Amino acid sequence: MSSDVGDVAQAPHAFELALRRMVKRKIASRVALVALLAGAIFTAWRYYSTDAVRTPPAGARGPATTVAAAEVMRGDFPVVVSALGTVTATATAVVKPQVSGPLLKVRYTEGQEVAAGDILAEIDPRPFELALAQAEGQLQKDEALLRNAERDLARYESLRNKIKDGVSGQQLDTQKALIGQYRAAVDIDRALVGRARLDLDYTHIAAPIGGRIGLRQVDPGNIVQTSDPNGVAVVTRISPITVIFSLPEAKLQSVLKRFRFGEKLAVVAYDHDRAEQIARGALYAIDNQIDASSGTVRLRAEFANDDESLYPNQFVNAELTVETLKGVVLAPAAALQRGAKGPFVYALDDDEKVAVRSVRLGPSDGERAVIESGLEPGQRVVVEGVDRLRDGAKVVVTRPPKGGPSNVGEPAAGKRKEAPAERRAEKTEAR
Residues 316/85, Cβ–Cβ less than 8 Å: yes
Residue 410, SS3 per DSSP: coil
Residue 405 pLDDT level (bands cut at 50, 70, 90) = very low
pLDDT for position 48: 54
- The span from the CA of 392 to the CA of 346, in Å, is 9
- The span from the CA of 52 to the CA of 47, in Å, is 9
Exposed/middle/buried for 397, CB within 10 Å: 0-12, 13-18, 19+?
A: buried
pLDDT for position 431: 36
- The span from the CA of 208 to the CA of 237, in Å, is 11
On the question of pLDDT at 60 being above 60, the answer is no
Judged by average pLDDT, the poorest of 142-151, 209-218, 229-238, 349-358 is 349-358
* Cβ contacts of 73 within 8 Å, gap of 6 or more: 329, 330, 377
On the question of pLDDT at 425 being above 60, the answer is no
Percent of the chain having pLDDT more than 90? 42
Percent of the chain having pLDDT more than 70? 81
pLDDT in tens, 71-91: 888 988 888 888 999 999 999
Higher pLDDT: 272 or 202? It is: 202
Q: Average of pLDDT values for 210-222?
A: 92
On the question of pLDDT at 23 being above 70, the answer is no
pLDDT for position 273: 86
Q: Supply φ then ψ for residue 309, to 5 degrees.
A: -75, -20
Report the residue count for the chain: 431
pLDDT in tens, 343-367: 998 888 877 788 888 889 888 887 8
pLDDT for position 222: 93
Which pTM does this prediction carry? 0.62
- The span from the CA of 76 to the CA of 111, in Å, is 45
pLDDT in tens, 80-125: 888 999 999 999 999 999 999 999 999 999 999 999 999 999 999 9
- The span from the CA of 122 to the CA of 98, in Å, is 11
Q: Average of pLDDT values for 271-276?
A: 88
- The span from the CA of 378 to the CA of 394, in Å, is 20
Q: Average of pLDDT values for 324-328?
A: 87
pLDDT for position 46: 63
pLDDT in tens, 185-211: 999 999 999 999 999 999 999 999 999
Q: Tell me what the pLDDT averaged over the chain comes to.
A: 82
Please name the amino acid found at residue 428.
Answer: T
